[in-house]
């Protein structure tokens, strides 16, 4: 394992072999974690994490309803993505869409009973899975460190922008 130290010249260099190993472990493990959580949720409640995010937002909204674009920005999705997803959720009866009374071109998304029940049944197993797969896997110090790492990475993403 020859050392590929880029070092010197303080400029824009490539990662070292060690940094790359850490990177791969980190990104692959977090992906695996997401995917495991997804399949746990699916198995426990027949919902995807996307469904869960939508249902969570709607169940917390007053009237259990939100405008489509409001919902999109609340959960941080592109409108196109939300529109596709709502179409699938509507086919399964989890939500309903209707024209918004107040805003002419607006669409109002409503939580149905089926959706509310599905969400109610999903939340405890989902939180339990988060506890088992994340919280219980780490020491308290590591949880704090994970939070700080996420904050630092997020800051970097934000400052670099889409570039």
CA distance 157 to 153: 6
Residue from 15, 93, 106, 147 that binds DNA (CB under 7 A)? Answer: 106
Q: Is 24 in the site for DNA (CB under 7 A)?
A: no
Q: By CB under 7 A, tell whether 35 contacts DNA.
A: yes
Residues 109/95, Cβ–Cβ less than 8 Å: yes
The reply on whether position 77 binds DNA by CB under 7 A is yes
Gap between the Cα atoms of 16 and 5, Å rounded:
5
Cβ 48 vs Cβ 37: under 8 Å: no
Tell me if 93 contacts DNA by CB under 7 A.
Answer: no
Q: Smallest distance from the beta carbon of 118 to DNA, in angstroms?
A: 12
Among 79, 128, 131, 154, binds DNA (CB under 7 A): 79
Cβ proximity to DNA, 24 vs 84, nearer residue: 84
Binding site for a copy of itself (CB under 8 A): 12-15, 19-23, 25-34, 36-37, 76, 124, 127-128, 130-139, 142-157, 160
Residue with tokens 């599905």: 118
Whole-angstrom distance, CA of residue 138 vs CA of residue 154: 21
Residue 78: strand, helix, or coil:
coil
Per the structure block, which two tokens stand in for 111?
A: 């939580």
Rule CB under 7 A: is residue 87 a binding residue for DNA? yes
Mutual orientation of helices 49-60 and 113-133 as an angle, nearest 10°? 120
- 79 touches, from a copy of itself, DNA, none (C-beta below 5 to 8 Å by class): DNA
Q: Which does 93 bind (CB under 5 to 8 A by kind): a copy of itself, DNA, none?
A: none
Judged by CB under 7 A, the residue of 68, 75, 96, 121 near DNA is 68
Q: Which does 120 bind (CB under 5 to 8 A by kind): DNA, a copy of itself, none?
A: none
Do 95 and 54 meet the contact criterion of CB atoms below 8 Å apart? yes
């Amino acid at each position: 394992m020859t050392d590929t130290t880029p070092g010197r010249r303080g400029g824009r260099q490539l990662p070292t072999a060690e940094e790359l190993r850490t990177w791969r472990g980190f990104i692959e493990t977090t992906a695996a974690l997401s995917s495991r959580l997804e399949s746990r949720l699916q198995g426990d409640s027949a919902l995807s994490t996307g469904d869960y995010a939508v249902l969570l937002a709607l169940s917390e909204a007053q009237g259990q309803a939100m405008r489509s674009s409001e919902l999109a920005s609340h959960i941080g999705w592109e409108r196109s993505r939300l529109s596709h997803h709502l179409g699938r959720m509507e086919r399964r009866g989890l939500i309903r869409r209707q024209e918004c009374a107040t805003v002419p071109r607006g669409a109002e998304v409503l939580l149905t009973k089926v959706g509310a029940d599905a969400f109610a049944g999903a939340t405890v197993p989902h939180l339990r899975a988060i506890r088992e797969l994340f919280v219980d896997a780490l020491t308290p110090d590591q949880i704090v460190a994970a939070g700080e790492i996420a904050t630092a990475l997020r800051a970097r993403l934000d400052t670099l922008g889409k570039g």
